[in-house]
Copies of this chain bind each other. A is one copy, B any other.
Amino acid sequence: MSEHIVSSFDTDLDTLRSKIAEMGGIAEKMLGDATLALVRRDAALAQTIIAADARLDALQRDIEERAILTIARRQPMAVDLREVVSAIRVAGDLERIGDLAKNTAKRVVAISGELQPPKIVGGVQHMSDLVQAQLKDVLDAYAQRDDQRAMDVWQRDERIDALYTSIFRELLTYMMEDPRNITFCTHLLFLAKNIERIGDHTTNVAETIHYLVTGVALSVERPKGDKSSFTTTEAVDK
């Protein structure tokens, strides 16, 4: 490549990186605010989260379009190509995290008038704190191209899955104890599932970082703390 072309490519990459950083900031804030809105039963805050999602969607489309044009125009190879492909993937995961935070906020609105067994929200809040830490770490790992840090995030998701399983069980117990808890706990089940799925997207980003830095796709199955899909008294999914 001529120097002119190389420098155009670098400019393209810088733009992609700064847009992904913006997406990361928005996604982190949406998840943090969704948890706050749940704990405080704050429907107004929940509405601001729902409104914020449009920006994330627009950024993702923009990143995808720019990345495709960059591939077509600059024909990057090896690590340069991985940079651009990784940008598309990370933007896709951040967009899905935004959708899940938005849905979490909608459920906060839905349950704002319901009876609430107070203890149970604590477990969901704790799980959300862990997922927020995962999201922050994986965004830092992406900014620094830090494979080790990304692999730490990838490993730690197991704890979140295990916590989700215990929340699932606890919520079933509350429902069985008192039918008046059923509507609230059902929303909370889906809400907890959303947060657990946000955790899964942070591990997707970690896998993308590994591929970006090393050039090798992760082929091993991630350890799963949530074995519950196959058991009746435990939680489910994966």
Q: Does A45 contact B (CB under 8 A)?
A: no
Contact A233 B172 (CB under 8 A): no
Contact B103 A237 (CB under 8 A): yes
Give A108-127 as 1s and 0s: 1 = Cβ < 8 Å from B's Cβ atoms: 01110110000000000000
- Please, which residues of chain B bring their CB within 8 A of the CB of A107? 229, 236
A238 in complex: contacting residue of B72, B106, B233, CB < 8 Å = B106
- Please, which residues of chain B bring their CB within 8 A of the CB of A144? none
Give A23-46 as 1s and 0s: 1 = Cβ < 8 Å from B's Cβ atoms: 000000000000000000000000
A184 to chain B, nearest CB (A): 8
How many copies of this chain sit in the oligomeric assembly? 2
- Please, which residues of chain B bring their CB within 8 A of the CB of A186? 172, 175, 186, 189
Contact A229 B109 (CB under 8 A): yes
Which size class do A's interface residues fall under? Answer: 35 or more
Q: Residue among A61, A183, A186, A237 with the most chain B CB within 10 A? A: A186
Contact B72 A81 (CB under 8 A): yes
Q: Which residues A71-91 have CB closer than 8 A to chain B?
A: 71-73, 75-77, 81, 85
Contact B68 A81 (CB under 8 A): yes
Q: Does A176 contact B (CB under 8 A)?
A: yes
Q: Which residues A175-196 have CB closer than 8 A to chain B?
A: 175-176, 179, 182-183, 186-187, 189-190, 193
Contact B176 A182 (CB under 8 A): yes
* CA of A92 to CA of B60, assembled, Å: 15
Contact A75 B76 (CB under 8 A): no
- Please, which residues of chain B bring their CB within 8 A of the CB of A217? 61
A179 (CB) vs chain B CBs: closest residue: B176
Taking beta carbons and an 8 Å cutoff, which residues of A are in contact with B?
Answer: 61, 68, 71-73, 75-77, 81, 85, 92, 103, 106-107, 109-111, 113-114, 172, 175-176, 179, 182-183, 186-187, 189-190, 193, 217, 228-233, 236-238
6 CB-based A-B contacts, threshold 8 Å: A61-B217, A68-B71, A73-B75, A103-B229, A106-B230, A110-B231
